[in-house]
Amino acid sequence: AQSVTQPDIHITVSEGASLELRCNYSYGATPYLFWYVQSPGQGLQLLLKYFSGDTLVQGIKGFEAEFKRSQSSFNLRKPSVHWSDAAEYFCAVGAREAGNMLTFGGGTRLMVKP
């Protein structure tokens, strides 16, 4: 069965500091990996995705993520956090083909200190 673990429920960083959110997955085939962000009262917005190719993927809002097959990880990073990045972040795994379910992690709530 597929699963996603986000070990950190809450993270607080200072504005301007770097950020890394952890994601570990379990998937029986080639994974299709995603990071979504949810701001209060909003839906889930796609930050970036990985299916194949370069293991370092760039997303919107200055985020990037690195796929490490040997560690079954897909950690999200940002070199300098802005106050507007405060939100909940979800990692997800699924198949590439449309119609297949995505399995989400429990989410990491990011708080940004001024």
Partner 1 sequence: EPEVTQTPSHQVTQMGQEVILRCVPISNHLYFYWYRQILGQKVEFLVSFYNNEISEKSEIFDDQFSVERPDGSNFTLKIRSTKLEDSAMYFCASSEQGTNVLTFGAGSRLTVL
Question: Cβ distance 99 to 17 under 8 Å?
Answer: no
- Contacts with partner 1 by CB under 8 A: the residue count is 26
- Which of 22, 49, 66, 77 touches partner 1 by CB under 8 A? 49
Please report how close the Cβ of residue 11 comes to partner 1 at its closest, in angstroms: 17
Helix H or strand E encompassing 11? strand 10-14
43 near partner 1, judged by CB under 8 A = yes
Question: What gap in Å lies between CA 56 and CA 7, rounded to an integer?
Answer: 21
61 near partner 1, judged by CB under 8 A = no
Backbone angles phi, psi at 85, to 5 degrees: -80, -10
Token readout for 21 is 């959110």
106 near partner 1, judged by CB under 8 A = yes
Residues that bind partner 1 (CB under 8 A): 32, 34, 36, 41-46, 49, 90, 92, 94-107
